[in-house]
Amino acid sequence: MLVSPKIPIVRVLFVFLRAQVLFFFAAALVAVLLDHVLALQWLRLSTLPVTVVGVALSIFLGFRTNSAYDRYWEGRKLWGGLVNVSRHFCHQVLEYVQGADAGAIAAWQAEVVDRHSTYVHVLRCTLRRQDPFADAHVQRLLSDADLAQVRDSTNVPAALLKLNRRRVVDAAGRGWLGEERLRAMDVSFAEMLAMQGGCERILLTPIPVTYVYFASRIVLWYGALLPFGMVGELGLLTLLVAPLVSLVFVLIDETGRLIQEPFSTGVFGLPLSALSATIERNVREFVVPREQLPPAPQPVGPKRELLM
Q: Residue 98: give the domain boundaries.
A: 75-207+272-296
- Listing DSSP states for 110-163 in one string gives HHHHHHHHHHHHHHHHHHTT--GGG-HHHHHH--HHHHHHHTT-SSHHHHHHHH
Whether residue 102 lies inside any domain: the answer is: yes
Whether residue 253 lies inside any domain: the answer is: no
Which residues of the chain fall short of a pLDDT of 70?
Answer: 1-15, 299-308
Whether residue 289 lies inside any domain: the answer is: yes
- Predicted pLDDT at 14: 59
Task: Tell me the CA distances in angstroms from 39 to 33, 80, 136, 281, one per residue in order.
Answer: 8, 62, 67, 71
Q: Which residues of 110-134 are buried (b: 16+ CB within 10 A; e: fewer)?
A: bbbbbbbbbbbbbbbbbbbeeebee
- Predicted pLDDT at 188: 96
User: How far is 46 from 76, CA to CA, in rounded Å?
Assistant: 45
State how many domains the chain has: 1
Name the 3-class secondary structure at 278.
helix
User: How far is 222 from 246, CA to CA, in rounded Å?
Assistant: 7
> pLDDT of 296-308, one tens digit each?
777 666 555 556 6
Whether residue 116 lies inside any domain: the answer is: yes
Whether residue 250 lies inside any domain: the answer is: no
C-beta of residue 308 within 8 angstroms of C-beta of residue 301: no
- Predicted pLDDT at 44: 81
> pLDDT of 65-90, one tens digit each?
898 899 999 999 999 999 999 999 99
* pLDDT above 70 as % of the chain: 92
Give the residue among 123, 118, 122 at the shortest CA–CA distance from 75. 123
C-beta of residue 150 within 8 angstroms of C-beta of residue 159: yes
User: How far is 73 from 81, CA to CA, in rounded Å?
Assistant: 12
Whether residue 132 lies inside any domain: the answer is: yes
Whether residue 128 lies inside any domain: the answer is: yes
What would you report as the CA-atom Rg of the chain, rounded to the nearest whole angstrom? Answer: 27
Whether residue 138 lies inside any domain: the answer is: yes
Residue 236 carries which DSSP code?
G
